[in-house]
Amino acid sequence: MSHKMSQPPSLLNKWIQENNELVNKWKQQEKGRDTVRQDHNQPHLKWCSYEFHKLLGIIQGIPPNSDYTQLELAVVYNAGVCATAQAQFSEAELFLTQAAERVLQVTGGETGASDPLVCWRAVLKSVENTHLHPSVLYLVCLQWAIWLATCQLKTIQEFQEEMPSLFETLCGGVGDGAISEARSKSSNIPLMVMDPRRLIELLQICTSIALGAERLTEGQSSEALTGLQAASSLPAPRALVGYTHLLSGSCLTHMRRPQMALQCYRKALETDSRCVCALYQSMLIYRQLGNTQAEIQALRLLHSTLMLPSATDPALASTHLLSPSSLLCSQSLSSLLSVPSALSVLHSLALKCLLCGRVSEGVEHYLDLLAVLHSEDQQGLHTQDATIPRLPELYLEAGAALLMARRPADCLALCSEVISTTLELLPEKVVLEEPEERREAETRDTEGENRVAMVLWTAAAYLLQGHCHSHLKDWKQAVTHYTRCINLLVKVRLKKRDFQPQFSSADMDVQRGKDLCVLQKLKGLSLAGRGISFTQTDKLKEALRDLQLSLQAFPGIFLCTYRNLSLALCWTQQSSATEYRNLVLPSQPGDKKRMPCHLMNRINFLHPVKRNPLSQQTWINRESKLEHVLRVHSV
């Protein structure tokens, strides 16, 4: 090798200097802009990548030469890292294969292996015990990173199995820290844009996380758990360690150990306070356990965390060129780490508060929600998760909340906003299709406006207005609005009548025939409301008629009125004793301790806890709230 030193050293030094200059420039840039988000490094990164590529082209312009090989490998590493950071993986892999071939040409190894595993084995073998070995190892690390970034976990696993020793070498201090430190002092040692030791640390934990996520998705929870628990002790950024705890928690949830899962989530939060997913997952567990207070607490925490400005930054922002987020891009992991938007959380919080009786709190949250929706600030709105209900439904929910909080005037305003929006578009008649033909997902995706939904929204708004007026004891207005509601509802024609909602069955598929269910419920509620309004204006005949119709439309609603003693008295006075006996008495609970049917219904509706509990039947919930309002009102 020494005879080669006769070659003009200036060229080598020049190239090394050029490389080092580029690296230093990059590091300077990185330091100067460490607070700035990564996006803004992009032009500079591109420039760096371009420059490294150019330099590499110059270096590779001469035939493979062992004197230059180390420099060349360093430049390949730098150019490859830059390319990978820009997600130009094919370009980076091209650098790597070219470099491998050139190394093999220098060392006289066997060239032409197309399989990257075979190729790398050959290269490593050929450079064994030479000074090129560490440099080649770095390139293998880069290859590993590319595999990880392109989610080729199988390849990584094969590689690990085939060359466990290599991995041990890699993991056990390839970098030989002291040496590289010493090297960096010298000017004729080529520098690297990213410390290989950091890269290896990152690769180890990211691989563990990605593998864990993959196994968890495949249902191998216990295997995933062991791997993740082992990874949690690795030296790594806090966020990544947090991920291992988080995923362990998810494994435990799958293994039906909610308390242990909660412990893991707490650990994840302790490790990384910004781990919103852990908060979210614990909230889900509390919900599953039926711990409403804790659930609300968790929701509130989750919301405030999401509202922090840092929450919008990627959790894994790093000053390294290769960020963990670019390495952890598998579908299964991202779905495991997904967290609903702040808006959605706020909505869940509001709804939860309302349903568990914390009305004023719920109202505040609803008002916050509406304020966010109408604020000029676009923050947080541009999420594509569709877990919050459609806007008119949100308005109506907020209206119902306001009414429950005894703010009928505000409720009226919200409802009239909904009505004024939909009024011009209401169809003269609308056909409600057979429940099987339409699904919730389709409903949401249909082009244009769903006419049935529009009618139901408007009708619900009228119903709420009717409730508001009866709350204000303006019975005439109440009758007017209930009548409007009824008039709207009768425009809906049912295409197939064989489907009768079975409200008593607990396992009723609420998804099916949801519109029909809502329609019947609205009919029942509006008729009952009008009936009650009629009793207040001493129109007992009409009242009786409406209440009977209400009973036909939706049996559950009627039960709300049986407690109304004055109403019952009215009937008996009106010599309608038979009606009273037929209608009221059978619905009286025989056992006083038994829960009234409508409450049971409500609980049935609330019960389903799905994978994503935030997208539960808010419609039904709202209707039950209305029912609640009516009940409160009529007693």
Partner 1 sequence: AMEGRCAVETWTEFGFLGTSTTPKVRFGTDVFICTGNDEVYVFSTHERKLKASNCFSVKDDLPLCCVSFSLNMTFHSCRAQSSSPDSSSIPAELKISEFLVIEADGVSSLLLVGTVLLTLSQRDSSWLMTLYKTPEQTESSSYEVLGSFSLPLVSAVVQADTESKTSVLICLHCGDTAPLTLPHGHFCLEPVLFKLLFGVEAALAKSPVILCGLPDGRLCFLPLRLPGARLRVLHSIEQPVVFVGASVVTETGPGHSQCLVAMGEQGRVVLIKTEKGRSEDGSSLAGFTEGIVSGPVQCGCLDRNCLYYSTGSDLLLLDLSEGSSGKESKERVEETSRKTLQSPTSLNVSRVVALAEPTSNTSVQLLGLSVRGQLQRISLPARRKDAGLSKLPSAQVGRSIRDLLSAIGDVCERSSVLKTAIKSKNQILRHLNQVVNISFLLTATNNTEDDPAIKEKPIRCHAMTSWSRLLQKDCLNLTCVLDNSSPFVLERGWTLSVTVFPLCCSSTAGEEISSANFSFPFQNLNSGETLEVLLPIAAAGDSSFPMTVNCSLIFSLSSLLGEQEAASSNISLPLNTLTVDWLNALQLNSPTARHKMVTFQPGSITTDPIQAFISSRQIRCSGRADRGAESGSRPEKYSASVRVSSELLKDSLVLKNSNLDPKISLSSLTVHACGPNGATVKLTAKKVGIVFSDELEVQVESSSMTAVCGLHHAVLSRIQVQTHTHTVRLNTIFREVQQNQISGALGVGMTAGQMNPGLLSVYQELRQNPLLII
Residues that bind partner 1 (CB under 8 A): 36-37, 39-40, 42-43, 341, 343-344, 373-374, 376, 378-379, 381-388, 390-392, 395, 417-418, 421-422, 424-430, 447-449, 451, 454, 457
Pair 330, 153: CB distance under 8 Å: yes
Quick check: helix, strand or coil at residue 441? helix
Q: Of 373 and 585, which CB lies nearer to partner 1 in the complex structure?
A: 373
Task: Give every CB contact of residue 525 below 8 A, 6+ residues apart in sequence.
Answer: 463, 550, 554, 557, 623, 626, 627, 630
- CA gap 171, 163 in Å, rounded: 12
Q: How far is the CB of 418 from partner 1 (least distance, A)?
A: 7
Least CB distance to partner 1 at residue 373 (A): 6
Q: Which residues pair with residue 492 across a beta bridge?
A: 430
User: Going by C-beta distance under 8 Å and a sequence separation of 6 or more, which residues neighbour residue 228?
Assistant: 208, 209, 212, 244, 247, 248, 251
- Min dist CB 336 to partner 1, Å, is 22
Structural tokens at position 68: 């230059």
36: amino acid identity, one letter:
V
The amino acid at residue 536 is: Q
CA pair distance 476, 617, nearest whole angstrom: 33
User: Which CB, 389 or 524, lies closer to partner 1?
Assistant: 389
CA 275 to chain centre: 13
- For the bound state, the minimum distance from the C-beta of residue 390 to partner 1, rounded and expressed in Å, comes to 6
Q: Which two tokens stand for residue 53?
A: 């590529």
Structure tokens at 477: 């207005």
Cβ 209 to partner 1, closest distance in Å?
A: 25
Shortest distance, position 133 Cβ to partner 1, whole Å: 39
How far is residue 77's CA from residue 141's CA, in Å, rounded to a whole number?
10
Nearer to partner 1, 373 or 506 (CB): 373
Q: Which is nearer to partner 1, 202 or 489 (CB)?
A: 489
* Residue ranges in 405-450 assigned as alpha helix (H): 408-422, 440-445
> Cβ of residue 371: shortest distance to partner 1, in angstroms?
12
Which is closer to partner 1, CB of 38 or CB of 135? 38
Q: At what angle do helices 514-536 and 475-489 cross, to 10 degrees?
A: 150
Quote the least distance from Cβ 428 to partner 1, whole Å. Answer: 4
Q: Which two tokens stand for residue 92?
A: 């980076």
Cβ contacts of 439 within 8 Å, gap of 6 or more? 511
CB of 138 or CB of 619, closer to partner 1: 619
Q: What angle do CA 620, 626, 628 make, to 5 degrees?
A: 105
Q: In sequence order, which ranges of 33-132 are alpha helices (DSSP H)?
A: 42-59, 66-85, 89-107, 116-126
CB of 347 to partner 1, least distance (A): 9
Of 189 and 426, nearer to partner 1 (C-beta) is: 426
Shortest Å distance, C-beta 421 to partner 1 = 5
DSSP 8-state secondary structure symbol assigned to residue 492: E
Q: Rounded to the nearest whole angstrom, what is the least distance from the CB of residue 427 to partner 1 in the complex?
A: 4
Residue 458 or 470 having the CB closest to partner 1: 458
Residue 118 or 391 having the CB closest to partner 1: 391
CB nearer partner 1, residue 424 or residue 591: 424
* Under 8 Å between Cβ of 605 and 503: no
Number of DSSP helices (H) and strands (E) in the chain, helices first: 32, 2
Our CB check for partner 1 shows the closer of 386 and 472 to be 386
Structure tokens at 79: 């150019």
Taking the complex as a whole, the smallest distance from the CB of residue 450 to partner 1 amounts, in Å, to 9
State the minimum distance, in angstroms, from the CB of residue 414 to partner 1: 10
Indicate the length of the chain as a whole number: 635
Which lies closer to partner 1 via its Cβ, residue 380 or residue 596?
Answer: 380
Angstrom CA distances, 280 to 32, 265, 289, 308, 493, stand at 35, 9, 14, 15, 42
Distance CA 621, CA 510 (A): 11
The one-character DSSP state at 580 is: I
What six digits make up the tokens of 474? 């303006």
Nearer to partner 1, 393 or 623 (CB): 393
The first and second tokens of residue 631, run together, are 């009940």
